[in-house]
Structure 1
Amino acid sequence: MSDIVSSEKRSRMMSNIRAKDTKPELILRKGLYRLGFRYRIHDKKLPGKPDIVFPRYKAVIFANGCFWHGHSCHLFKWPSSNEEFWHKKINRNKEVDKANIEQLKKMGWRVGLVWECSLKGKHRLDSEEVIELCAQWLQTTDMLSIEIGGQC
């Protein structure tokens, strides 16, 4: 099946998709800041340049887009055009994510994943609930990781 828009328009649309300062990331940052958490963003010294870095808690949070990271939720659907390219790209993203998380854990960092579907879509959680879950995780040093997705 061919695309419903021209390749030029598709290229323009794809180039407008942000890698940083996404809506889910901003929701998390603003909510956690409001609760008194201080952080750095996109630390290039850490594997994967985590979206939010909490040095005081030796913790990082990735705000992952469900499509780009191949999450198994209602927001992810394999594209029907250029299938080989997308399978290769998304599977590579998943491999890189896994390697970055392993490396961060080996360095002693705690890793949190907040999926886009937890803050957007028909199965989303209340944003304040997501922020509170992240805050509790940050303050509980015995939990090495957390993953928050939408309700199934």
Structure 2
Amino acid sequence: MDKNTVVIAIDHGWSNMKTVHETFTSGIREITTEPALLENVLEKDGKYYKVGSERLKVKDSKVEDENYYLLSLAATAKELDRLGRRNANVYWAVGLPLIRFGKEKEAFIKYLRASCRRTLWNSLASTTSTAGQQTLENRPRHWSLR
């Protein structure tokens, strides 16, 4: 690995998203209008989402919708901000709740890989290659997906 590579470990819990330095509620909800305050806000396809809000309801699987992909991006942005990084090749090391790990592991890997796309977030931009590597650059203050 080169010195520009960062491995970000993310624990995708039902109650909390956790990285080495950050913990926040596993919650994301759509905001119907452009928010006045952009802290912990994710923008995707012209829609705005509040990150870390009320906890998501437990479902049969975390791959039923894009909530956990969006939460993964938010966790990555928070961790890179904490590390003071503005330019990095990012690889995810992800965790799931132990009780469902065996059942959900393969589907979750496919889910995250299939979700890779051009991503902009909190002072960072990311382009994800087919290998799952993300390159980050400086960008606007709120998190944004394009």
Establish whether TM, by shorter chain, passes 0.5. Answer: no
Q: Which has the larger radius of gyration?
A: 1
Higher helix proportion (structure 1 or 2) = 1
Structure with greater strand share of residues: 2
Structure number with the bigger relative contact order (C-alpha 8 A, sep ≥ 6) is: 2
TM-score by length of 2: 0.29
Which TM-score applies when normalising by structure 1? Answer: 0.29
